[in-house]
Structures are given as structure tokens and as C-alpha cells.
Chains A and B, each alone.
Chain A
């Protein structure tokens, strides 16, 4: 079982470039989420999805887009990268139900120059 797989693990972008962070899970989980982690600020929710075709904004959605065309995949798109988006990005998934634990990918370390 691969669990939650994120690609790439590292990425350096120039300001203004766009890119997509990939996230895939093989556990048939309905819920998927994207977080960013900055020093001293914990994990902040960017976007989440409760099922295929359904997405919603989290705490810090500006500058990011998501889509959920399949249960397995939940890509995160940076439309025009800015230095403020330099961060570590984590994707997570869980089964439906608020008492279910989240399973995290290994993260993508993104630097915007």
C-alpha cells in the first residue's frame, strides 16, 4: 500500500511561473486536503475536497486552485508563483467521518525565487 503519494519532493520556481503539485492516494478515501507548513505557523489548510467533483476553500486559498476529478487524485495548482508561497506543502486524506485520522504524504518542499 503506497498510502498518500506526493510529487515532486522538491521544486524551485521563479516568480510568476505556474506549476502543479500532485497528490494521489490508493486508500479510496473520500476526504483529501492540502496544507502548507511555515515555521512557527503549524499546518494551514489551503483547500479540501469531500469527494470527487467537490472542493472547498480552507484558511489560505488565495493563489491556489484545486480540482478533484477522481477519488484518487487531488492536484494543487499555483497559478503565478510568488515568494510568499515558499513553503512545505502536505497532502492528506481520510475516510468520511470526523472521527477518522488523516494520512499525510511526505510533502513537497517548494522554493520561489
Chain B
């Protein structure tokens, strides 16, 4: 089945620093979704990207979809302690999730 690789697996940042997680696929994706899971919680949908080269922003979060639709990234500017959690990318069609990036923000 279609797989997505996500890096890094873990990231520790100081509050106020930026953070980026990357999602890569060996095949072209029809779309990609991003989810956030707080510690002890369940995944919550953040956003979906569909178009080649698409960029979407949600406050301090910037989501990008690559031109070839094989990779995507999530960038958080000036992290806050509320950003703590695991961020997953997912291929909607295949119901497949990346392994996630666990973000720790040190105050």
C-alpha cells in the first residue's frame, strides 16, 4: 500500500524557536492531510492540501504541498507550549498515516 515517511521522529525545541516536520512519499499523492495528537488524546484533523505547490496557513502554522505532490511539510513559527504533541501526515485515499513527529517545547 501507499506509504508516507515522516521525519524527524522526535524534536525538542525551546519555546519561541521554529519547528518543521516533513512527510515524503515515493508515489504521487492525490491529497495529504495533517493531524495533531495531544499527549493522551486522539488525532485531530488540522488541514488538507490538494493542489500541487499549495501553501496554507493557520495562524503560526504553515502547510506546504510539493510541486510533484510527493512531499509535504508543516512549519510552526515561534513555538508555544500549547504546540506540544505529535503531528501526523496522512494519505486520505489509503487511510494511511505517517509515523508522526513528536514535538516537545521546553519553556
Contact = CB atoms under 8 A, between A and B. Distances in A.
A52 B106 CA distance: 46
Nearest to A107: B42
B30 A43 contact: no
Given A33-B95, A42-B88, A103 B45 contact: yes
A99 interface: yes
Nearest to A104: B42
Interface string A96-110: 001111111111000
Interface residues of B, number: 24
Contact of A100 (B41, B92, B97, B98): B92
A40 B9 contact: yes
A43 B50 contact: no
A27 interface: no
Given A43-B88, A48-B95, A106 B42 contact: yes
Nearest to B50: A99
A106 B41 CA distance: 7
A25 to B, nearest CB: 13
Contacts of A90: 42-43
B73 interface: no
A9 B28 CA distance: 37
Interface of B: 1, 6, 9, 30-31, 33, 35, 41-45, 48, 50, 88, 90, 92-93, 95-100
